[in-house]
Structure 1
C-alpha cells in the first residue's frame, strides 16, 4: 500500500482569526442575495489579527504549515503542470471535458484547453462573457454556461444591473463549439433567480437542463418567493435557438427546511444549489440548501422526489452530490461558511463542513437515504486559508467507491468510501497559504478525474494537472470517456459517456 507523504503537513492548532470568525458568522446568518455566489463562492478577503498572522508565520517557520504557495502532496500524486490565468482573469469555477479538450469556467467567461498532452495543455480559445459563476458543461456541439449575476441584458458585453429592475437578465447561455477555436453564442434562456449551477440530462435529439438557483426576494421581479423548485429547459440539438423552459417542478411543497430560528445555523431551502443526474439509473440527487433529496428522472421533464433528508446538527448548506457507481450511495457536501471562511480546523471539528455519506436502501419509490458517516480532510488549515468541501468526481474503479474532491485551500483529496461507515483519505495535493496576513478565497474549486488524470481548476492559481499513481486506482487509467460533465454521471463501465 502506498503511504501518505507527511513532510511539512503536520499542522498545529490554528484558530479562526477574529476577522475570519466575524465573516464566518455573517455567512451563516445572513441570507445570500440573489445573483451573488453561494452564501458564498465569492472571493473573500478579510484581514486577520496581528497575533493570528504571527502564529501562521511561526507555524511556517517551524515546518508545521507549508510555506506561502509551497506545494505538498502524498507520494502517490505528482503535480504535472499549472497553467496560470491569462486573458480571462476572474474567479475560476467549474470544469467539463470532451475528447481531448477541457473547458474551464470563470466568472468572466470560459477557456478551452487542448489536453491531448496532459503535461503541456495548450489554450485553444478564451471567451469573455461575464456573469458569475459561469458553471459550465458540454454536450456534442453545444456548450452551456450559467449566469447567476443580474445583468443589463443577455449579451456577453452586458454590465451589472440590479435584480430589482424588471429588464435585468440572468439564466442560461448556449454556445456552438463545433469549432473549438471559435465558439459562437447562439441562444439564451432567462430563468427565475438566474442559474447558479445546472445539470444536463442528455438524450438523442434533445438536451434537458436542470437549472438550480435560489434566494428569491419580493423586491426581485424575476425571482419571487417561494421558489421551491428548479427550471427545466429543453434544448433541441439541431435548433438550440429554440431552447425554452418546459417545466418548473415544485420539489418542496411544504417549503423545505425553514432554517433559523427553527434550525439555527442551517440555510432555509429556497431552491437547489446543485443537482447530479445518473441517467443510466433514471436517478438524480439534489443538494438543496437545507435539504438533500433523490428523485426519479425517468421522464426528464417531470422529475419526481423519492426521498428527502436533513441534518440540522452538522450541515449548514447542502452544496453538491455524488453517486457511487452502483447508485446505492450518495455523498453530499456541506459548504459551511459558503466558501468564504476557514472551516478546516480544530475549532470547527471533523463533522461540520464535511461530506455526509448516505446509503440508498430499498427499491423504487421506497428507496430511502440512510446516513452512515462524515468525511473531512484531516489536515487542519491555517486561519488565513479558506477551506470548504467542494466539487469532486468518482474515480472509476470496479468494486470500490473512490472519489477525488476539491477543498479550496484544503487542496485536492482522494478518498475511499467503499465502507460507508469508515471513509479514508488515500492521497492529497495542496498548496500552503497564499498569504499570512488575510483570509483569501483560493484553491481548487473543482477536482475531477478524466481519462487517467486529475484536473483541478484553482480559483486563483489557474489550471492544474495531477497524476495519481496508486495500485488501488491504477485500473481507472484504462477507462476512457468521450465526454464528461461531472454533474451528469456516466456509467463508467458500459462503454458510454455523457
Structure 2
C-alpha cells in the first residue's frame, strides 16, 4: 500500500442455471477473462501514430496534460491512500460497501478491504474466481458476482470456452461472506447471455437480482435472439443454494428478430442495436428503476419485482452511442444516463469528439404514475481534455447525499474522478476532480477509474490499472453529506439516504 499524505498538487489548465453448492474458490493467480463493451478483452495497449505520440508529449510539455502517472487534483480533494493490485492482477472493476468493508471486483475475482481507517485500508481477503467482469454487490451475508465470459463450467477453476458449445457456462455466482477472511462459494445460476452487470432488489426473506446481458447470436445455444429483456433471479437468504431464475420480463416487445429495441446500424448510424440491457439502477423507496439498454434508456415500475413494467423509453440517435448506466437523484425527478462511446477503450475526452458525445445525459422526470416521461435537459462532460493515448468516457458514479442539491461523483477512466453539480438540470458544472497523467505517451493503454463512489464521508475509486484509491472531499457544498451514514451500499440499488439520517 502507498500512503499519500502530502500529494503533489498541480491544477490543470483547461483546454479547448444450476445451483452449485460448496464450490471452492482459491487465492492463486489466473489468466485474463473477457467482456464487452467494457475493457477487458480489448488490447490493453494499442500503438498510436507518431504524430499522436508527439502531440501528447507536446501537451505535457505545455502543461495542458499531466506527466505520465503524475497525480493532479483540485484544491478541495485530498488523496489519502492507494493500494496497488496484488494477487488479482487483471482489470479492476466495480465496488460495493458494507459496514467497515469495501468489496472490489476484478476480472480475476474479488478483493475485500477493511476501510475502518480510510487513510490506511487493509486487505482482508483476495478470492480468485475468473469471469469477466465480476460486477459485484453485497446484501447481508451474501456477495454476488457477474460472469460475462463463456466458461468451461461454473467453478472458480474454470477456463475460457467458446459460447458456441452448449456445455459452456455464464451467469451469477453467490458467495457466503459471513467470515470476511474466508468467503465461501455457495451457488451458481446460469442466465441467458451471461451476466454483464446485475442489480439487487432486496427483500426481507429474498434478494431479487436483475441480470443485464446482451449480444445474442443464433450460434450461441444459451444466448439466442431476440434477447429483449432481463433475467430475474430469486435468492432465498437462508437457502442461497436454491437460487434460480424465476422470470425473463420482456422490456422491448416487437416482431423483429431482435425484438422492439433500437435497430441501430444502418437505421441509426453510430448507435448500438438494443439486444438487451447494459445496466439497471433501482430506487426501491420509489418503486422505480432506470435502464441503460445499449440504444435505449427506459424508466420502469418495480412494485412487483418479478414483473417490472416499462413506463417510458427514450433514444438519442444523435449523440448517444451506447447507453451504459443510470443514476436517479434523491427526489426521483431526474435521471443521469451515461454514454460509453468507444466501449471504454477509446480516447473520447478531446476536442475532436466534443462535449456532447461520450457524456452524461441529464433527463427530468415529468408527470405522475404511469404517465411519467423522461425529458432531456442537457449533457455533462469533463472539460479537462485528455491525451489521445488515454481511454476516457463517462462511467460509473454515485450521488453525494446533500439535501436540496443534486451532486454526483463519477469515474471517467483515465479522465479520473469528477465531482459535479446537476441541481440545475440545464447547467451542470464540475466542482472537484482527481486524475493521473497518461499511462503511456506512445500507446493507447487502458486504465483509469472504473468506479468512483461516495460512501460514509469518503470517495473510493477502483482504478483498472493502479488499484484502489481513497479520496477526501473538503467543500462546503458537499460537507453536509459527511453526516449521512449507511450500513450498506450497492450503488445500483440506490438507498433513501435521508430515511435513517434525520439529524
Whether TM exceeds 0.5 here: the answer is yes
> 2:37 aligned with 1:39, yes or no?
yes
Distance of 2:359 and 2:120 partners within structure 1: 34
Distance of 2:349 and 2:142 partners within structure 1: 38
Distance of 1:471 and 1:192 partners within structure 2: 47
Q: Tell me, which stretches of 5 or more residues in structure 1 are unaligned?
A: 14-34
Q: Does the Cα contact within 8 Å between 1:40 and 1:337 map onto a contact in 2?
A: no
- Name 1:19's counterpart in structure 2: none
Out of 452, 463, 467, the position equivalent to 1:462 is 467
Q: Does the Cα contact within 8 Å between 1:11 and 1:65 map onto a contact in 2?
A: no
- Name 1:28's counterpart in structure 2: none
What secondary structure, in the 3-state scheme, does the structure 1 residue paired with 2:67 have? coil
Q: Deviations over 1:208-255 (max 9, x none)?
A: 000000000000000000100000000000000000000000000022
Q: CA deviation at 1:41?
A: 2.5
Q: Does the Cα contact within 8 Å between 1:8 and 1:64 map onto a contact in 2?
A: no
> 2:430 aligned with 1:431, yes or no?
no
Distance 1:78 1:6, change over 3 A: closer
Out of 451, 476, 485, the position equivalent to 1:480 is 485
Distance of 2:493 and 2:301 partners within structure 1: 14
- Name 1:300's counterpart in structure 2: 305
> 2:208 aligned with 1:203, yes or no?
no
- Name 1:324's counterpart in structure 2: 329
> How many residues were matched structurally?
471
Q: Does the Cα contact within 8 Å between 2:232 and 2:246 map onto a contact in 1?
A: yes
Q: Deviations over 1:56-84 (max 9, x none)?
A: 11221222210000011000000001000
Distance of 2:129 and 2:36 partners within structure 1: 20
Q: CA deviation at 1:404?
A: 0.1
Alignment RMSD (CA, Å): 1.2
Q: Deviations over 1:187-225 (max 9, x none)?
A: 000000000000000000000000000000000000000
Distance of 1:6 and 1:72 partners within structure 2: 5
- Name 2:23's counterpart in structure 1: none
1:137-286 maps to which residues of 2 (within 5 A)? Answer: 137-254=137-254, 255-286=260-291
- Name 2:446's counterpart in structure 1: 441
Distance of 1:413 and 1:65 partners within structure 2: 16
Distance of 1:136 and 1:7 partners within structure 2: 34
Distance of 2:231 and 2:45 partners within structure 1: 33
> 2:339 aligned with 1:341, yes or no?
no
Q: Tell me, which stretches of 5 or more residues in structure 2 are unaligned?
A: 1-7, 17-32, 255-259
TM-score (norm 1): 0.93
> 2:133 aligned with 1:133, yes or no?
yes
- Name 2:94's counterpart in structure 1: 94
- Name 1:9's counterpart in structure 2: 12
Out of 374, 399, 404, the position equivalent to 2:409 is 404
Q: CA deviation at 1:11?
A: 5.4
Q: Deviations over 1:33-72 (max 9, x none)?
A: xx95233333532101112111111221222210000011
Q: Does the Cα contact within 8 Å between 2:11 and 2:74 map onto a contact in 1?
A: no
- Name 1:375's counterpart in structure 2: 380
- Name 1:121's counterpart in structure 2: 121
Distance of 1:185 and 1:201 partners within structure 2: 21
Q: Does the Cα contact within 8 Å between 1:200 and 1:487 map onto a contact in 2?
A: yes
Q: Deviations over 1:103-128 (max 9, x none)?
A: 00000000000000000000000000
Q: CA deviation at 1:7?
A: 4.2
1:19-34 maps to which residues of 2 (within 5 A)? Answer: none
Q: Does the Cα contact within 8 Å between 2:34 and 2:131 map onto a contact in 1?
A: no
1:384-423 maps to which residues of 2 (within 5 A)? Answer: 384-423=389-428
Q: Does the Cα contact within 8 Å between 2:15 and 2:383 map onto a contact in 1?
A: no
